[in-house]
Structure 1
Amino acid sequence: MNLLKYFPLGLFVVMAFAACDLDPLGNDGPSGGPELLDCSAFRENLTLEDRGLDVDYIVDCRAFVDADLTIEPGVTIAFESDSGLQVGDNGSITAIGTMNNPIIFTGTDKIAGAWSGILIESADVKNRLEHAVIEYAGGAPFNSNDDRGGLILWADAGISMNNCRISNSAAYGLNLAYYDYEIRDISSCTFTDNRDPVFAFAEAIHFLDKSNTFANNVNNYITVGSSATLPGTFTWQNLGIPYRFIPTNFGITTYTRLVSGCTVNVEPGVVMEFSTGTGLEVDDNAGFTAVGAPAMPILFTGVDKAPGGWEGLYFGFTQSVNNRIEHAIVEYAGAGDSDAAIYMWANPRLQVLNTAFRSIDGCAYRDSNSDPFDNPNFSESGNTYDGVAGDVFCGS
């Protein structure tokens, strides 16, 4: 038999099968291309393995994770427009990559907002992200609350997150827009090329560690929603970018309030920017320590660089020995009824040392309980006053 006679037909068949084995995204691999994951698959325990492709899996829906989702090193998942992962109360996500084999959550389109992102509702201790990348998210919100971001944590949620990168989000990189978190770790992560790197209410900003990097974001500051803290002792670390305090609850909540039993320590070099109408309040049995250094003062300033750009600092009743401001700058304060940079109610205990007051719309200090100023629990020295519109010391 003349075998050459049949060769062209055999070659055609081989070529046809080879063509069918091509990845539709242009990735040749052992499994023939990315696997489209059915949304129902996430309602049972699921492990996603590295299939050796540039893109291993595609998700084209808002997948609800109702069991344990484990993602192995080297896996890349691409999300179609408006798709994402929502980890429910009974679910968990464990995505532990390595330095050389990170786990990548990306969009099929490489543009900011190409997919929704990851929303975590559970506090499961298995919620871990390590050496993982979340990119091109922050698209369609998950709910009517307009929750948008690369990674969003719901109320009471928990996570451990380190050596991760969140980039190119059309909204926040990390969105901590709720309360009572069980966050175990957010460290050594990079937030870059997002619209905003992080949103957090005041009770959550202590979770942000200075080992994180924040760079090249459109708005390169930590957005802090005005709210009450929790009881406990917390440190607001120097992250290398400002904390910017904004009103919340449709403008109703304007003060960040340190509640009874809360002590906050502010590290040297921290910059705190306050939007119009906002301020910081230290309640009874709360403590506030803001001690900078001569070369690294703590800055309290307004977003608007004009006298009266923000309200100021309020101390009410508190007799905490921790109430101390030293090597700081307080500027552009004095708006509102307090008409002072620092307003004191009911003779609180407070020390202010080696601090510069400048461009204040009103007094430097106001004592609400006496006229003239006569708070026996207040002491100050080594301070300077430049551009203070009112007296340095004012009574009620």
Structure 2
Amino acid sequence: MKNFQRLFLLFFSLTFILSGCDPDKDKDQPVPPSSLTANAGPDQNVQTGQTVTLDGNGSKDSESKTFTYAWAFSRKPNGSNATLNNAATATPTFVPDLPGNYELELTIGNSTGSHKDKVLIKATASVTAIILNHITVKTVLEDRIADPNLPDYLVNSSIGVKAELTLKPGVTIAFAEDAQFLVDEGGTIMAKGEANKKIRFTGKQDQKGYWAGIIIYSNSSANEFNYTEIFNAGSTGLIDAVKTAMVVSEDARVTIKNTEIAKSNGYGLYLREGSILYGFAANKFDNNAAAPIVLTAENVPKLDAATLFTANHGIKAIEVKRSTIQETSEVVWQALQNGFPYRLAGFISVNSGWKLSPGLNIEVVQNNSIDIGDGYINAVGTADKQITITGVDQTAGSWDGIIIYSRNSMNKMEYVNIKYAGGEPLTSNVKSSIALSSAAALQIKNSNISFSGGYGIHVYGDEPTLNPDAATTNQFTSNALNAIFYNR
């Protein structure tokens, strides 16, 4: 009997050892199903009549397998006839027709299983827009309607802001045809939105140039547009009969940041001479019938490289009106994003330091010139970021050129392209792209002067100073006359 028990135990032990060493054992086990996780998106607070978009894009399969979507109402207010559109997609929509709670269930599934999640949509009764009139007392406008496509306030005729006006994030104001919005001398506007709750000024109809625009007369340093949208303005002329989405008058102050100005039937922004651009950063200008901005030279240094100027404008340049660069310190013009150019629409006189940043582009309208008087021009680019000063009309001699009177040692040009100048004589009845008058000085290297209607450089008199190697360290191509003319 004992021998039998020993044999049994030995047989059992051998069986256990052999089964534990079976290399095919794991292959016989069932493969666990993939892990599906449904995500019906965040709860939402909306108003009746507002289109609600659900979002199941956060759903996933741990093994990256495809799966199907199936949405359904699990609860809605009694009597509601709301229905789902595109219920088999990640982002179906519906319109709540009654106030109350709408609960929806998302089911995702594939061959390995399914998983569910729910989302709650709370709908309150919709409200109608309030009609705004003149603002004569301190006023705060609240975001009243959740749908950003619906206006919180209506302006049925031109109104003025004569007191402090604050717009909360998310506010939308819709203007009647040709209506103006004036911030008067005694008023202040503070329109400070947020990245995901912008403040919008638009027309009652989504039509380019539907309403007139915004006029800023106020000199308050608190005037600010931040995370705002100004759409569909420029229907009629504002100050100076200029069509524009916004005009800032002389002595008026404003800060514009993170703001989009689009679909104006004229300019996007008009800064009159003497206006004060208090702050300007990270804006966007798109699809305006004229230039995105028209201004004088005094406000150009406020423009920043982070602001986006798209190519969808009637004038594809920042328009700089006839003006003088005259400051106590050096004035710097920044290169704009994507090489967007400045267009000199009139004569520019420089009586202080004028520095052009690498990569900057300037175009000059026909028959105009740049006059470096008591100041200097310091245009130093790089091989990768050259500075270009060219004509709007790209024909030889379309603009007159640059004349330098100052002997300042800061007059330097390097990696600069000067094209299509040499139209009318700059001095001594001689046509040239660059002219050095009596006691002027210039150092120019690694630059290219081309398509001049006369000489490349004209040195007039015995006193001007031009670096001796100017003829060999620069390129002169397709000019009507010689590279350099020493007129002594």
Q: Same fold (TM over 0.5)?
A: yes
Instruction: Tell me what 2:142 maps to.
Output: 49
- Structure 1 partner of 2:185: 89
What is aligned with 1:204? 299
Find the aligned partners of 2:399 and 2:124 in 1 and give their Cα distance. 58
Matching residue within 255, 258, 269 for 1:163: 258
Q: Provide the C-alpha distance between the structure 1 equivalents of 2:241 and 2:326, rounded to a whole number of angstroms.
A: 25
Shift of 1:31: 6.4
Partner of 1:116: 212
1:181 aligns with one of 271, 275, 297: 275
User: What residue in structure 1 maps to residue 359 of structure 2?
Assistant: 269
SS of residue paired to 2:298 = helix
Q: 2:384 aligns with which of 273, 295, 310?
A: 295
Structure 2 SS opposite 1:365: strand
**Residue number among 307, 332, 338 corresponding to 2:420 in the alignment:** 332
Quote the residue 2:433 is aligned against: 341
Which residue of the other structure, out of 458, 465, 481, is the alignment partner of 1:377? 465
Q: Does 1:126 align with 2:222?
A: yes
Tell me the amino acid that sits aligned with residue 154 of structure 1.
Answer: S
Q: How much has 1:86 moved relative to structure 2?
A: 1.0
In the aligned structure 2, how far is the partner of 1:216 from the partner of 1:384? 31
Instruction: Tell me, in whole angstroms, the C-alpha distance in 2 between the residues paired with 1:322 and 1:72.
Output: 49
Q: Is the 8 A contact 1:197 1:217 kept in 2?
A: no
2:334 pairs with 1:237: yes
Q: Secondary structure, in 3 states, of the residue corresponding to 1:118?
A: strand
Q: Is the 8 A contact 1:135 1:168 kept in 2?
A: yes
- Note the 1:246-285 alignment, pairs <5 A: 246-247=345-346, 255-259=347-351, 262-284=352-374
Q: How much has 1:346 moved relative to structure 2?
A: 2.2
- In structure 2, what residue type is equivalent to 1:193? N
**Structure-2 separation of matches of 1:32 and 1:130:** 26
1:375 CA displacement: 4.1
1:390 CA displacement: 1.7
SS of 1:204 mapped into structure 2: helix
Deviations 1:5-60 (A, max 9, x none): xxxxxx9xxxxxxx9xxxxxxxx97563111112x3x1222211111252100001
For 1:175, the aligned partner's letter is Y
Range with greater deviation from structure 2 (337-346 or 103-112): 337-346
Match of 1:222 among 318, 323, 326: 318
Aligned to 1:322: 410
The answer (yes or no) to whether the contact 1:350–1:378 under 8 Å persists in 2 is: yes
Equivalence for 1:251:
none
- Is the contact between residue 437 and residue 464 of structure 2 (CA under 8 Å) also seen in structure 1? no
Q: Does structure 1 residue 359 correspond to structure 2 residue 359? A: no
Residues 1:386 and 2:482 aligned together: no
Contact 2:325/2:354 (8 A) holds in 1 = no
Distance change >3 Å, CA 327–CA 216, structure 1 → 2: closer
Residue matched to 2:44:
none
Amino acid at match of 1:311: D
Residue 230 of structure 2 is aligned to residue 142 of structure 1: no
Question: Is 2:398 the counterpart of 1:304?
Answer: no
Counterpart Cα distance in 2 of 1:366 and 1:288 = 17
- Aligned residue among 187, 200, 203 for 1:104: 200
Identity across the alignment (%): 28
Q: Distance in 1 between matches of 2:292 and 2:188?
A: 24
Offset of residue 180 of structure 1? 2.5
Report which structure shows greater RCO (CA 8 Å, sep ≥6).
1
Q: Is the 8 A contact 2:294 2:319 kept in 1?
A: yes
Contact 1:30 1:51 (8 Å CA) reproduced? no
Letter in 1 for 2:465: N
Cα separation, partners in 2 of 1:180 and 1:353, compared to 1, 3 Å = same
Specify the alignment match of 1:250 in structure 2: none
Q: 2:129 aligned with 1:34, yes or no?
A: yes
1:172 aligns with 2:267: yes
In the TM superposition, what whole-angstrom CA distance separates every residue of 1:298-325 from its partner, at most 9, and x where no partner exists? 1111111111010101111x12222111
CA distance in 1, matches of 2:353, 2:139: 43
Q: Check whether the contact 2:192–2:225 (CA below 8 A) recurs between aligned residues.
A: yes
What is the TM-score with the length of structure 2 in the denominator?
0.69
Q: State how far apart, in whole Å, the 2-side matches of 1:275 and 1:388 are.
A: 19
State how far apart, in whole Å, the 1-side matches of 2:281 and 2:130 are: 32
Query: Which residue of structure 2 aligns with residue 22 of structure 1?
Result: none
Q: Distance in 1 between matches of 2:437 and 2:286?
A: 42
1:137–1:169 CA contact under 8 A, matched in 2: yes
Say whether the 8 Å CA contact 2:233–2:263 is kept in structure 1: yes
CA gap 1:97/1:257 in 2 versus in 1, 3 angstroms: same
Once residues 293 and 60 of structure 1 are traced to their aligned partners in structure 2, the CA distance between those partners, rounded to angstroms, is 54
Write the distance in 2 (CA, Å) between the matches of 1:104 and 1:350.
Answer: 50
- Measured against aligned partners, the alpha-carbon deviations of 1:337-356 in whole angstroms (never above 9, x if no partner) come to 22110112222121111111
TM-superposed CA distance for 1:204, in Å, is: 1.6
Whether the 8 Å contact between 2:343 and 2:362 is mirrored in structure 1 is yes
Partner of 1:193: 287
Cα distance, 1:163 vs. partner?
A: 0.7
**Unaligned segments of structure 1, at least 5 residues:** 1-10, 12-18, 20-27, 248-254
Task: Between 304-313 and 227-236, report the one with greater CA deviation.
Answer: 227-236
Q: Using the TM superposition, give the Cα deviation of residue 92 of structure 1 relative to its aligned residue in structure 2, in angstroms.
A: 1.1
CA contact (8 A) 1:297 1:328 kept: yes
Q: Looking at CA atoms only, which structure, 1 or 2, has the larger radius of gyration?
A: 2
Q: Is the 8 A contact 1:131 1:164 kept in 2?
A: yes
Equivalent of 1:76 in 169, 172, 178: 172
